Chain A
């Protein structure tokens, strides 16, 4: 019996123990990231974003500026010398998954190699955290300056493209009652709240990230000209995200563009490709509060100036504040 144990059972146990040890070692190395902490994960914004140049032809800045807000959150900006929109894009990481929100204003991978940049961010993250991630290509809303480079991801392996129709967006997030619904979305253990925010565009969403306490407001609220095609819808949207901002801790509001100068109420002219005196992109709940108050007093179409944003309420372009 002793002979059987050492000759037959011991090898079986040794194989079992070896496999288990390898499994445990791997799971320790590739430990899941805990996104559940009560306190907001700390992050930082750059002092100044790259903001174009006097001569776009001579611009030598990167086509895509990559800013690591924290190790699982990246903010990207398209070079204004490539497209005046200078759109911001976001990469949020969860366990086993990354989400790219928006794909900029330029289709050409030569001028605007967004896929290459995102692939590098993901490869670096995967190596650091010993996890393979699936990429979700999503959009804040359906305007062309936010999905022009979408095609660069069509043939990317291990990638889910949400799609560029209203119906595909709604199906992905699980909206059954857009825009009123407040949805919980689990990005690999990273809890997010998603709600509809039409007004600027009829498929827009806002996202609250419970891990960083960032509230992402896309094109419906940012430092610039808030172009509103549907005032009533925007009023409801502002009220919805203002409620989120009051119900949950907020570290900052983040969004898609900067069009204001650092002088209150003054914006850069539309089409500007050099903005040396930009204010920060991030905004505060107080600023959102001003928009909330504005929804109570504005009754007519027109341009309404506030220190940090301008409301273009269904107005003719002739009344622009551009010089």
Chain B
């Protein structure tokens, strides 16, 4: 709560001194008379939105609030606050999956010690109003016929406070998420009156409040779910896999006919697919402290081989196969951060294959990029001396640097 301009301070101090004598109430300092909204989505029962608000300092006069809070007759009390209930019902809106949910007034509790206490902003006298709404989530335990709530299962909840509704600010919103690890908190202020969509489950993407491109991408991904695994595999090479890019570039700069280059790439692919599968099943370990330096060494080897080999030796193909096995272990350790296993522990082979295809597309795109940039010079007399060898030297130098870094880090 902000103290009024200081022209009023002296008045406030005198008033406070007098008030101290007349106000019996529990000490409640260090809590601004801020508003709190708690949203409890329903499971088999209606959802509840609970609003805790200092009405006597906002939507009602202290006198009206005192009259309502001291009125013994429940119905008469409701009559006094009927307009306020309507204002809060209209002004605090709940959305499920972007659609506004109708609320019904359910409960009212008016707390106050004295009229003086209501008038004093430093001693908040809070009212609690509850509304229900017919939407929520369905827990795993839900069985039998679907209730009204279960039929209206929503993925996300949002709260919005209308521009013309003035509350004691700020307003702390707590959204219970029984299917998630933690509840969610949002703070609303005069300038920020919307929580945005809060997903009711961990990891559930919220679509509202994001830009159209993100929404379109999410929509597309929901249609073609597997595309995600394909793109994850691709991204593991471009742009995230600098070392794998360097290796593929190393293969490219041996100045071979394209068919032989693709033969090397295929051997590499076959090899890393094998270890990726075996490591995913934990048949073989993939210790990063050993695998990562070896990947760096493989880069040094292919690049140095480019500098000294005159042709594609059979041994090189075998070595590329061996390095493919090592790179596969590298892919497996990154894949372990994702999960290709379903809840029952079964392998989603489909996803794993798509990840692998994504990796291949990433590698081929590197080759394609090099062909576009440097393909025109592949048959030129200066190609090896001016292009292939300098590139190979650079790749070998970088590989050596990575090897030292990975061994000593």
Contact = CB atoms under 8 A, between A and B. Distances in A.
A145 B24 contact: no
Contact of A56 (B3, B189, B405): B3
A25 interface: no
Given A143-B31, A318-B20, A15 B189 contact: no
Interface stretch (A128-136, A276-284, A309-317): A309-317
Given A269-B16, A312-B27, A167 B182 contact: yes
B397 interface: yes
Interface stretch (A6-14, A117-125, A246-254): A6-14
Given A144-B32, A144-B170, A317-B23, A171 B16 contact: no
B189 A20 contact: no
Interface in A269-317: 269-273, 312, 314-317
Interface size of A as a range: 35 or more
A165 interface: yes
Contact of B185 (A15, A81, A85, A163): A163
B96 to A, nearest CB: 21
Nearest to A58: B6
Interface stretch (A32-40, A147-155, A205-213, A234-242): A147-155
B2 A82 contact: yes
A112 to B, nearest CB: 10
A116 interface: no
Interface string B223-247: 0000000000000000000000000
Contacts of A164: 172, 174, 185, 187
Interface of A is mostly: loop
B190 interface: yes
B31 to A, nearest CB: 5
A144 B6 contact: no
Interface in B1-58: 1-3, 5-7, 9, 12-13, 16-17, 20-32, 34
B6 to A, nearest CB: 4
B401 A322 contact: no
A137 to B, nearest CB: 11
Interface string A153-169: 01000000001110110
Interface in A105-122: 105-108, 111
Contact of A55 (B6, B34, B307): B6
Interface residues of B, number: 58
Contacts of A271: 3, 12-13, 16, 122
A179 to B, nearest CB: 18
Nearest to B385: A7
A54 B16 CA distance: 17
A225 interface: yes
B396 interface: yes
B20 A8 contact: no
Contact of B3 (A84, A163, A315): A84
B308 A8 contact: yes
A273 B185 contact: no
B401 A19 contact: yes
Contact of A11 (B22, B184, B393): B393
Given A145-B30, A145-B32, A316 B393 contact: no
B27 to A, nearest CB: 5
A46 interface: no
B19 to A, nearest CB: 9
B389 interface: yes
Interface in B389-409: 389-390, 393-394, 396-398, 400-401, 404-405
Nearest to A85: B30
B99 interface: no
A163 B174 CA distance: 10
B350 interface: no
Contacts of B394: 15
Given A108-B189, A151-B187, A270-B122, 20 more contacts: A11-B390, A11-B397, A16-B397, A55-B9, A56-B3, A81-B6, A83-B3, A108-B190, A151-B170, A164-B174, A171-B182, A219-B30, A227-B29, A257-B30, A269-B16, A269-B17, A273-B6, A317-B117, A318-B25, A320-B20
Closest 9 CB pairs of A and B: A15-B397, A56-B6, A164-B185, A144-B32, A19-B401, A144-B34, A16-B400, A318-B24, A107-B189
25 contacts: A8-B308, A15-B397, A16-B398, A16-B400, A19-B397, A20-B401, A55-B6, A56-B3, A82-B2, A83-B3, A107-B169, A107-B187, A111-B2, A143-B30, A143-B32, A145-B32, A164-B172, A165-B184, A165-B185, A168-B182, A269-B13, A269-B16, A270-B122, A315-B27, A316-B24
Interface of A: 4, 8, 11-16, 18-20, 23, 53-59, 81-85, 105-108, 111, 143-145, 147-148, 150-151, 154, 163-165, 167-168, 171, 200-201, 219, 225, 227, 257, 269-273, 312, 314-318, 320, 322-323
Interface of B: 1-3, 5-7, 9, 12-13, 16-17, 20-32, 34, 117, 122-123, 169-170, 172, 174, 181-185, 187-192, 303-304, 307-308, 389-390, 393-394, 396-398, 400-401, 404-405
